[in-house]
């Protein structure tokens, strides 16, 4: 039995609020594997909600049942607590004259039948750059901490954490890194975001977020950004599907698709939606458009990549390291094996400084860090090939570049 298919069947029942009683004959070991798949996609609480009364699950090991139940209660309870604290904080921000926009996070959770079962690691706020100083002062007064800022450096995002209550979020002045050749230009789509934002109600709080068109485009752009790195997960597809379903009457898909074609993301987005149609119980009509006839619809390879990579494509380090190859392909809008592998071996200086901190502290050691990376790459590649048969980061990267070609993100 293919347990990945079972996971998808259960997820479909969760997304459509239907029963999954038809699932039967699974052993405790099978359920443990389904839990692992669910956890890697950060969907374990949603999946538990669907299967806790399933006869096959109830016949599994009682200790395992109790473990998954306890894990669900912990995750959902923690999410509920953080959501309340975040909304209280957001209300206070607005009372102090700040106008941040919430992107992803609680805006996506609110689309779900039971929002607290769709957990988030953090929240994301997008603010006008000229409000950063006032926001920074406000957050520190509220007990939030951040790293020391470098004088005169122009920051695009700054993370904040409150050690007292565990709240963590990222404050964005740009939604995407401006210097990225692969997706820095996505920022152009949101230049008027603060002038065209919308107010919506979440759990009794009035919050600001992107208008429906920009919200949809942002979810696509954010998923594509992760896809260009090492991958994105099924949960991001669920977010996009629920958003399209809720706001379909406010989305002009003729306009949106023209924009996405200009940014080489239309085929990608349409195939993400097709995952919902083929596997998760949605119809094109309830998503607000007809099945596209002008792009190749073949979502299975995309879904397989999402399942293989986990929530942010980080199921294994070879896959994570392969990101330099896919990013190189996107930046150059072409597929070239040699340049892709070179990009993996010789990434930008900032990547090296992040992964080899001694080169940031002692810049003269930067050449040593590059040699260190090459040595690790060659050693790891040979070890994998001999001992485990695992694919190297170069192999994974070039295979994933073919997906970029398939979904028209890059050209041959």
Rounded CA gap, 228 and 54, in Å?
38
Residue 320 confidence (pLDDT): 54
Give Dmax (Cα) for the chain: 63
Contact 256, 240 (CB under 8 A): no
Tell me: the pLDDT tens digits for 373-402? 656 655 655 555 444 445 666 677 677 888
Residue 69: which pLDDT band, with cuts at 50, 70 and 90?
A: very high
Residue 101 corresponds to which tokens in the numbers above? 């926009």
Residue 386 confidence (pLDDT): 45
Rounded CA gap, 299 and 50, in Å?
25
**Region class of 289: left (phi > 0), else alpha (psi between -120 and 50), else beta:** beta
What residues have CB less than 8 Å from 227, skipping those under 6 apart? 268, 305, 313, 326, 409
Q: Other CB atoms closer than 10 Å to residue 386's CB: what's the count? A: 8
Q: Mean pLDDT over residues 229-253, rounded?
A: 95
**Region class of 288: left (phi > 0), else alpha (psi between -120 and 50), else beta:** left
| DSSP string for residues in 96-153 | TT---EEESHHHHHTTSSSGGGS--S-EEEE--GGGHHHHHHHHHHTT-B-PPPPTT-
Contact 341, 373 (CB under 8 A): no
Q: How far from the centroid of its chain's Cα atoms is residue 92's Cα? A: 28
Residue 32 corresponds to which tokens in the numbers above? 């443990």
For each of the domains in the chain, give its residue range(s) and CATH number, in order of start: 92-210 (3.30.460.40), 212-313 (no CATH), 317-406 (no CATH)
Contact 192, 227 (CB under 8 A): no
**pLDDT higher than 80, residue 341:** no
Looking from the CA of 15 toward its CB, the CA atoms found within 13 Å total 25
**pLDDT higher than 80, residue 372:** no
Give this prediction's pTM.
0.85
Indicate the SS3 state at residue 42: coil
Residue 365 confidence (pLDDT): 65
């Amino acid at each position: 039995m293919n347990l990945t298919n079972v996971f998808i069947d259960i997820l479909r029942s969760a997304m459509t609020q239907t029963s999954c009683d038809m699932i039967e004959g699974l052993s405790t070991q099978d359920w443990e594997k389904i839990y692992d798949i669910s956890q890697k996609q950060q969907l374990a609480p949603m999946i538990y909600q669907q299967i806790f009364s399933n006869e096959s699950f109830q016949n599994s090991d009682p200790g395992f049942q109790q473990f998954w139940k306890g894990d669900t209660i912990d995750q959902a309870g923690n999410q509920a607590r953080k959501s309340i604290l975040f909304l209280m904080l957001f209300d206070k921000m607005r009372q102090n004259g700040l106008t941040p926009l919430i992107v992803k996070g609680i805006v996506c959770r609110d689309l779900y039948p039971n929002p607290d079962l769709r957990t988030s690691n953090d929240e994301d706020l997008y603010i006008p750059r000229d409000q950063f100083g006032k926001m920074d002062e406000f957050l520190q007064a509220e007990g939030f901490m951040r790293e020391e800022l470098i004088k005169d450096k122009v920051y695009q995002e700054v993370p904040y954490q409150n050690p007292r209550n565990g709240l963590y979020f990222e404050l964005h002045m740009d939604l995407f890194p401006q210097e990225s050749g692969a997706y820095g230009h996505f920022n152009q789509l949101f230049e008027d975001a603060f002038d065209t934002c919308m107010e919506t109600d979440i759990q009794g709080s009035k919050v600001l977020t992107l208008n429906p068109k920009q919200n949809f485009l942002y979810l696509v752009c954010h998923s594509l950004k992760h896809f260009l790195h090492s991958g994105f997960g099924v949960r991001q597809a669920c977010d996009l599907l629920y958003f399209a379903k809720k706001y379909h009457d406010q989305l002009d898909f003729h306009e949106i698709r023209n924009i996405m074609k200009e940014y080489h993301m239309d085929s990608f987005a349409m195939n993400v939606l097709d995952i919902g149609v083929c596997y998760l119980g949605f119809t094109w009509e309830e998503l607000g458009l007809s099945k596209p006839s002008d792009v190749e619809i073949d979502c299975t390879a995309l879904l397989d990549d999402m399942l293989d990579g986990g929530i942010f494509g980080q199921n294994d380090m070879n896959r994570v390291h392969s990101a330099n190859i896919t990013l190189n392909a996107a930046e150059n809008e072409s597929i070239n094996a040699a340049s892709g592998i070179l990009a993996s071996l010789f990434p930008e200086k900032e990547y090296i400084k992040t992964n080899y901190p001694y080169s940031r502290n002692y810049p003269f050691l930067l050449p040593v860090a590059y040699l260190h990376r090459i040595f690790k790459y060659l050693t790891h590649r040979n070890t994998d090939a001999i001992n485990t048969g695992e694919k190297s980061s170069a192999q994974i990267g070039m295979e994933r570049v073919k997906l970029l070609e398939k979904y028209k993100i890059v050209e041959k």
